[in-house]
Copies of this chain bind each other. A is one copy, B any other.
């Protein structure tokens, strides 16, 4: 599945079917079963990654999730990340920057949220906002936006080199699907809190955002920090796909239970005597 999701060179989002399910033949029920089937392995790999870190292993995973509003970032966090021991996860949601954050380089707040050794870090939005809304809304001069792609590339190179497996996901929904999801939020009083009139303002700029995503992906895709475009009109598929990407990253790390750094027999004796 993973290779089918890897962003192509010269990506054109419009050409990627948001209702497709690359690499998976089943329907929703099959997809939900497959997701459930992956939970134990994901959980076990996470525990081994953590265990290995207590013995000096310095590797970790960073999942970056970017998407248009309503594309299902929250559902991924809840249903995929939520199946992992919370002690093994470091979740950071990047919202509109604070005054303090704005007074620093845009990567300042990102650096602080990088996952510790042995952790699965998850970015719900990320430094990419600075070249997405940053570009579309012209929040910085054009040459500064240009510079940011290079800054991001250098930053991710260093993060990868220091032992982090980076997985970058764009959840890709259609404009029509977003309309339906926003309509549902407006129809249900228990969903009103998720709705923000500003969502429509951004929606009006759909094509500009698509272009900004394409540029960001083109400028920052790399084998050590790959972009995956996950069709997300079908929520069950998007969840399964992100779980699959995480599983692959962890399998590649292949973390091992560390061996004891103490004398097991001696400790058994000490315990018996205590």
CB pair B85 A78 closer than 8 Å: yes
CB pair A186 B271 closer than 8 Å: yes
A-B pairs, 8 with minimum CB distance: A192-B260, A51-B193, A78-B85, A190-B257, A200-B270, A54-B193, A193-B258, A197-B262
Can you sample 28 A-B contacts with CB below 8 Å? A51-B190, A54-B193, A74-B85, A77-B86, A77-B87, A78-B86, A81-B86, A82-B85, A82-B86, A86-B89, A87-B91, A87-B124, A179-B271, A182-B271, A183-B271, A186-B264, A186-B267, A186-B268, A189-B257, A189-B260, A190-B257, A192-B257, A192-B258, A192-B260, A192-B264, A193-B258, A196-B262, A200-B270
Q: Does A195 contact B (CB under 8 A)?
A: yes
Q: Does A55 contact B (CB under 8 A)?
A: yes
Q: Give the docked Cα–Cα distance between A190 and B258 (Å).
A: 8
Q: Does A259 contact B (CB under 8 A)?
A: yes
Q: Does A93 contact B (CB under 8 A)?
A: yes
Q: Does A98 contact B (CB under 8 A)?
A: no
Contact with B along A237-274 (1 / 0, CB 8 A): 00000000000000000000111101010011011001
Q: Answer whether A86 and B86 are a contact pair too, CB < 8 Å, given A186-B267, A192-B258.
A: yes
Q: Does A204 contact B (CB under 8 A)?
A: yes
Give the interface of A toward B (CB within 8 A): 51, 54-55, 74, 77-78, 81-82, 85-87, 89, 91, 93, 124, 179, 182-183, 186, 189-190, 192-197, 200, 203-204, 257-260, 262, 264, 267-268, 270-271, 274
The copy count of this chain in the complex is 2
- What residue of chain B has the Cβ atom nearest to residue A124's Cβ? B87
Most buried by B among A93, A182, A192, A195: A192
CB pair A271 B189 closer than 8 Å: no
Q: Which residues of chain B are near A179, meaning CB under 8 Å?
A: 271, 274
- What residue of chain B has the Cβ atom nearest to residue A75's Cβ? B85
CB pair B262 A195 closer than 8 Å: yes
CB pair A200 B274 closer than 8 Å: yes
Q: Which residues of chain B are near A274, meaning CB under 8 Å?
A: 179, 200, 203-204
- What residue of chain B has the Cβ atom nearest to residue A52's Cβ? B193
Q: Which residues of chain B are near A192, meaning CB under 8 Å?
A: 257-260, 264
- What residue of chain B has the Cβ atom nearest to residue A266's Cβ? B197
